[in-house]
Copies of this chain bind each other. A is one copy, B any other.
Amino acid sequence: MSADTDAADRSSLLLVDDDAAFCRVLTRALERRGFAVTSAHSSIAAQQAAGADPPEYAVVDLNLAGDSGLLLIPGLLALEPATRILVLTGYASIATAVEAIKLGAVNYLPKPADADQIVAALAATGGAAGAAINQRPLSVNRLEWEHIQRVLRDNDGNISATARQLGMHRRTLQRKLAKRPVRT
């Protein structure tokens, strides 16, 4: 689609994800789409890379080992307020999506997402109310997931406390969290 671009005028993009394999694949895909990709596998490495050369775009995975990718957002924006940050996560929930946007991310996508979706999300304009309203109610499982994520956040990730508030067994909550969010 795009005209041939020399390395000079490519947009710089910082990819942060602790899954090395996923990172490699996505890096290649994004490079093919005209970005100059730098990747980091930890929050700290990401901070360093950004400090050396603040990127125009960033794609951040939420569940990095250690601290949440959420905390990375203000850090990146502090270095360069114009950075367009996309949050990408396998454990998507409305609660973290809301938080990410409030912190300044331009978009939020659940994994799996392909490179085209990612590029589109990075480019998305803030003002356009293009989101169509879903016609179906959430499935009970999905609603449960959303609720759990919300309460878990309110409890700062404390699983025991969350289980208590939710009236479910701690072991059960652990098992539910280990799974992926349900689709539909």
A binding-site residues for B, Cβ under 8 Å: 62-63, 68, 70-71, 89-99, 101-103, 107-110, 126-144, 146-148, 150-151, 154, 156, 165-168, 182, 184
Contact = CB atoms under 8 A, between A and B. Distances in A.
A107 B103 contact: no
A93 B134 contact: yes
B151 A147 contact: no
Contacts of A90: 137
A67 to B, nearest CB: 10
A166 B144 CA distance: 12
A163 to B, nearest CB: 10
A70 B142 CA distance: 22
A75 B152 CA distance: 33
Contact of A103 (B98, B128, B151): B128
9 contacts: A71-B129, A91-B134, A94-B109, A95-B132, A96-B131, A97-B97, A140-B148, A140-B168, A141-B168
A102 to B, nearest CB: 5
Contacts of A91: 133-138
A133 B62 contact: yes
Contacts of A143: 110, 143-144, 147
A150 to B, nearest CB: 7
Contacts of A138: 91-92, 110, 147
A177 to B, nearest CB: 13
Contacts of A148: 140
